[in-house]
Amino acid sequence: MALKVVQWATGGVGVAAIRAILEHPELELAGCWVHSPDKNGKDVGELIGTAPLGVTATNSVEEILALDADAVVYAPLLPDPGEVAALLRSGKNVVTPVGWVYPGERQAAPLVEAARAGGVTLHGTGIAPGGISEKFPLVLSALSTAVTYVRAEEFSDLRTYDAPDVLRHVMGFGDTPDKALSGPMQKLLDGGFIQAVKMVVDTVGFAADPKIGSRQEIAVATAPIDSPLGVIEPGQVAARKFHWEAVVGDETVVRITVNWLMGEENLDPAWTFGPEGQRYEIEVKGNPDFTVSLKGFQGEVGDPEETGIVATAAHCVNSVPAVCAAAPGVATYLDLPLLSGKAAPRLAVDRG
């Protein structure tokens, strides 16, 4: 029988997750929680632009908690540990792209208790953090010995990110440098990316300082730049870099970096993506050294969808069967078996 899955929130990741659930041969959409009263009571098909699906969206947490379901793909803009604990206690496994990729014992304790009470599992996943930042560097590091350095780096043009309120009020684009540097973005990113660095440190076995260093840089516009939040004027923030590093003595052994640019023109400093363009890049130094570039997760301006968001949702949805089969508690990538995507329905084995 198919596993019954609830989608929590219908932003970009949520809509992509619903479509992925519908395409997955082992899953069935059982419910949908929405934040907006305007979406409450609507058929989920209307929310994602398809024919009716026979599943009605609700903004009632109590209705979701009472629902007969195996799992929830929990994808709000920001996580609420109380909501996650309640879902776990209600007997629903939770897969989420907004936290708990590699939580510390103290952070995980309340959710471990809730998961065990419900006989279910919590799993944090996604893309970065939640995949390309730690899972895939670890997998690739198996191709080298005597590893001395692991790097995961994102190069993205945020003119494709159609979320103006998030870009301005959370990420600090279009703001003054002082306000951007003192804004919430570094703290919001720290939680996930510090966990990603620690997962690599612990798994590879580096004797690193337990304190993970973090720092940020900004570039400002030198001429007007068109963006999803409107025109970014000269002197306003138009690019950001964030770095997280683990060190052994004075040697950096793990580094994760995010490069977010509103295009490559009219920036001071004059940052670019380099000749390879937008990508994720994974580097391992050891015997041998190697670098891998991953493309296709960043779109171009004008594309109908943000492929990185679709990939984030896919990683969540493809994790559901393994998470439902895992022992109760908090499961990281280190606790789960190999995951894969599933064949397109027209090419899949007939399971009927």
Asked, for residue 204, whether it belongs to a domain, the answer is yes
**pLDDT tens digit sequence for 92-108:** 999 999 999 999 999 99
267, 326: one domain: no
Contacts of 330 (CB under 8 A, 6+ apart): 100, 103, 108, 111, 112, 115, 121, 122, 123
Q: Determine, yes or no, domain membership for 301.
A: no
Tokens standing for 39?
């979406």
As a whole number, mean pLDDT of residues 313-317 equals: 98
Side by side, the strands of the sheet bearing 57-58 are: 57-58, 27-33, 3-8, 71-74, 93-96, 121-124, 329-330
CATH code assigned at 152: 3.30.360
| pLDDT band (50, 70, 90) for residue 154 | very high
Residue 161: closest CA among 289, 56, 11: 11
- C-alpha distances (whole Å) from 237 to each of 18, 171, 229 are 35, 10, 12
Q: Are residues 107 and 159 in the same domain?
A: no
Question: Would you tell me how many other CB atoms lie within 10 Å of the CB of residue 236?
Answer: 22
| CATH assignment at residue 12 | 3.40.50.720
For the beta carbon of residue 313, count every other beta carbon within 10 angstroms.
26
- Output the average pLDDT for the chain: 95
Q: Flag whether 162 is in a domain.
A: yes
3-state DSSP of 319-350: HHHHHHHCCCEECCHHHCCCCCCCCCHHHCCC
Q: Whole domain around residue 264: which residue ranges?
A: 135-296
pLDDT for res 301:
79
Q: Give the pLDDT of residue 352.
A: 65
Residues in Cβ contact with 301 at an 8 Å cutoff, skipping those fewer than 6 apart? 157, 159, 160
Question: Within this chain, do residues 318 and 283 fall inside the same structural domain, yes or no?
Answer: no
The answer to whether position 79 is within a domain reads: yes
Do 282 and 168 sit in the same domain of this protein?
Answer: yes
Q: Based on the fold, state whether residues 173 and 289 are members of the same structural domain.
A: yes
Q: Is 210 helix (H, G, I), strand (E, B) or coil?
A: coil
Residues 68 and 146 in one domain: no
The answer to whether 6 and 58 are in contact (CB under 8 A) is no
Within a domain: 304: no
153 and 273 belong to one structural domain = yes
The better pLDDT of the pair 306, 340 is held by 340
Instruction: Let me know if residue 153 belongs to a domain.
Output: yes
The span from the CA of 50 to the CA of 11, in Å, is: 16
Same domain, residue pair 139 and 250: yes
- Position 145 in a domain: yes
Q: Are 248 and 205 in contact (CB under 8 A)?
A: no
Q: Does one domain contain both 173 and 283?
A: yes
Residue 163 reports pLDDT greater than 90? no
Least confident of 151-160, 246-255, 271-280, 303-312: 303-312
pLDDT in tens, 42-71: 999 999 999 999 999 999 999 999 999 999
Question: Is 352 inside a domain boundary?
Answer: no
**Total domains, the chain:** 2
Distances (CA, A) of 255 to 2, 223, 247, 251, 252: 40, 32, 9, 11, 7
Distance from first CA to last CA of the chain, Å, rounded?
Answer: 11
- Rounded CA gap, 41 and 285, in Å? 54
Q: Say if residue 120 is in the same domain as residue 139.
A: no
Give the residue with greater pLDDT, 163 vs 3. Answer: 3
Integer CA distances (angstroms), 146 to 169, 195, 284, 289, in order: 44, 23, 10, 10
For residues 155 and 276, give the distance between their C-alpha atoms in angstroms, rounded to a whole number. 10
Do 143 and 163 have their domain in common?
yes
- Residue appearing with tokens 């790097």: 151
Say if residue 93 is in the same domain as residue 158.
no
Least confident of 78-82, 203-207, 320-324: 78-82
Question: pLDDT tens digit string along 174-219?
Answer: 999 999 999 999 999 999 999 999 999 999 999 999 999 999 999 9
